Structure 1
Amino acid sequence: MNTPFLPLDQDPPEGAVLAGEYVLGVLDASQRRVAEQRIAEEPAFAAEVSTWESHFMALAEKVAPVAVPEYVWARIGSALGFGPPVRGAVAPERTSFWNSVGFWRWLGVGGFATAAVCAIALLNALRVPEPQPPQVVVAPPVVEEAVPMASTLARDDGKPGFVATVDQRSGRMTITPLDPVIEQGRVQELWLIPADGTPRSLGIVSADQAQSGLVPEQWLALLDTRAIFAITLEPPGGGPGGKPTGPVTAKGAIALL
């Protein structure tokens, strides 16, 4: 049977599927009665059924028949509930392909599996699968590896005045006072002095507790092993004009951890 390809958004003809299922004998009793009524009343549907029967019978005819003892047929008929044929003037009921002797002889030589596979494949070909929603692949978040750096800011006498740690990627910095130089009326101001020698103020820091903050983003590229941190004593509010004016009380190079 030549079945035209259908657009993906178009359902197959209902009659074609029903006719195929009728020929295969997979309908329940009520569905079968509906199909038989349509055969009697609708020439187009009857022709569809005949087309399916011809298609499946062509498959059966490709297998050479093998004689089977009569008692085997009797046992098969009894198991399937087939009674002896009724003879009379009444027109015989249309014989389903599934109940035909030719089909069961084909079944006797192993054709059943082939028929079932072919039938299911043909019926499935008529049924257009429902479109599945596209799968959304969510990439895992990229976690940037931290680049830890540290500096010990030593006083002139060699004792550590502060210790600082910083992540070069995020700019997160923590500075902890250890033994800073304290002068009344002065504040501790932290400076970043990169390779170009120009001090950049990182703000006023506490002389008695650890503090955490962010290095300005535009200065992150200046954080390398050529730069140093320094502490100066400045008037309240910090160095005038953003420049150091007081003495350097602690300084230290930056090292990668």
Structure 2
Amino acid sequence: MIERDDLDMLAAEFVLGTLPVEDRQRVQRLRTTHPELDAQILQWESRLSALNDEIEPVDPAPGLFARIERSIDQLEQASSQHNEVVRLRQQVSRWRLSTAATSIAAMLLIAVMMLEPTPTESPYVAVFQHNDEQPAFLLTVDLARKQLNIQPVTARPAGNQSYQLWIKDDELGPTPRSVGVLNEHFEVDPAALTNYDAELLRRATFGISLEPRGGSPTGQPTGPALHGFLYPTGEGADTNRL
């Protein structure tokens, strides 16, 4: 029996397109005999498709396409990844020809992070959302290099307040520890997780809270936080949940 939380995350990964091909095929077969899983998938599709109507189109950040193209050029040097290069070039071309909805931008973010090969594993992704609301942020972490990237999905600039990223694990003590304050472009130091062990990052709880401008004055979250856990996006994905 699949737990409800596992069903929800499995459905989210299926809709975002982060499951390996074999796992995606298994989920496609499983949903035909598992009404609850099928319902969860339909709910995620509905949440993300609604972003097309609710969010105003925005121009890509300066230099984004250049970074994507540089990453693709690096992949072209490795013949074993030729098919991935072709697929990603097609995605970049489509994005340049049309206004991307936020849900597509979220999926493209995951693909871009996977462009940079690591020695051992694919990036890990956490989705930050409140209950059944649409996701506010995506956090991508390259555990091999201890690099992180935050992408807003439905989150908007907070005016005179700041978003702050936190990490919590029993090994770090009873209270959350600040990873960093997001700037006006929703960016945080990519190397902020350098001093954390990869195994700790895999199991840790991450949170994003809304704080006074410049960050929490107490060193702890001053209000409710959105929480997320890291899940693998490639061959390291946990297939036992099926």
TM-score of the superposition, structure 1-length normalised?
Answer: 0.38
Higher relative contact order (CA 8 A, sep 6+): 2
Report the structure, 1 or 2, having the larger helix content.
2
Q: Which structure is larger by alpha-carbon Rg, 1 or 2?
A: 1
